[in-house]
Amino acid sequence: MQVALLTAAEADDALLLQLREAGSLKKASLPQLRAARDFLADGEVGWAELAARHGILQSAGAWDATIKLARRIGWLRPPAAAVDEAEPATAAVLSNMQLLLQVATAGGGSSSRSETAIATVAIAAELLGDPGLNIPAACVRHGVTIGHLGSGRKSARERAERTRAALVELGLTDWEALKRQWAVKLDRPAVKALQQRHRVSVAEAARALHAAAGDEAAAGAALLSQKRSASLEAGDAPPEEES
């Protein structure tokens, strides 16, 4: 008895149908699912080309529907380097990384870089694990808006690559190590209080609180000690302890 072998296209379509059932995508048509699959495979493909390829109406509404499907399928079939901020442990690490990225600016004192969106931090973390990451597809998985005319792709890519470079500069490149070392989410009000009280960057306050295992008083004492040491080395009067 001969067993009929599925062609690659048939096998892919069968998998998409399984994904549709598993992901409660029961209203999605096979052409929509194929378009979503193709976008996840090649995030640079234009909407006009994608819609024509699968016989879908070239409208903003159809694009939005396809992107919603792509996001669902993207998490049902995530890439190896995927970082899922919906997982509590991962969310804690990303929150801490967000703080660590707010390093001091040229203004000094408590002046810090602006906060990077969690989704962008997650995509940058994925880039660390996979330099060839399909960034537009990653944007879709993480809910970053990309318009049907291609708007947003370039800026999203630039933000992700810029954030990745910042993580490399800070030495935050080993995701497994980060998950071990920064698994406990830092208390943000405590970080802000330390930043303002000791006039340091958000990142410095976060590192001090982490080193003190979340003890705000101990973190403050460590920051004051660091400032005193720096003042003595510079020949300045040591800073007074702030209440």
Across residues 185-201, what is the average pLDDT? 96
% of the chain beyond a pLDDT of 70: 84
pLDDT mean over 55-70: 88
Q: What local confidence, expressed as pLDDT, does residue 152 receive?
A: 77
Query: Is the pLDDT confidence value at 37 over 50?
Result: yes
Band (18; pLDDT cuts 50, 70, 90): confident
**Model confidence pLDDT, tens digit, residues 128-179:** 999 999 999 999 999 988 876 666 778 888 999 999 999 999 999 999 999 9
Residue 235's pLDDT band (boundaries 50, 70, 90)?
low
- Three-state SS string over the chain comes to CCCCCCCHHHHHHHHHHHHHHHCCCCCCCHHHHHHHHHHHHCCCCCHHHHHHHHCCCCCHHHHHHHHHHHHHHHHHCCCCCCCCCCCHHHHHHHHHHHHHCCCECCCCCCCECCCCCHHHHHHHHHHHHCCCCCHHHHHHHCCCCCCCCCCCHHHHHHHHHHHHHHHHHCCCCCHHHHHHHCCCCCCHHHHHHHHHHHCCCHHHHHHHHHHCCCCHHHHHHHHHHHHHHHHHHHCCCCCCCCC
pLDDT of residue 238: 53
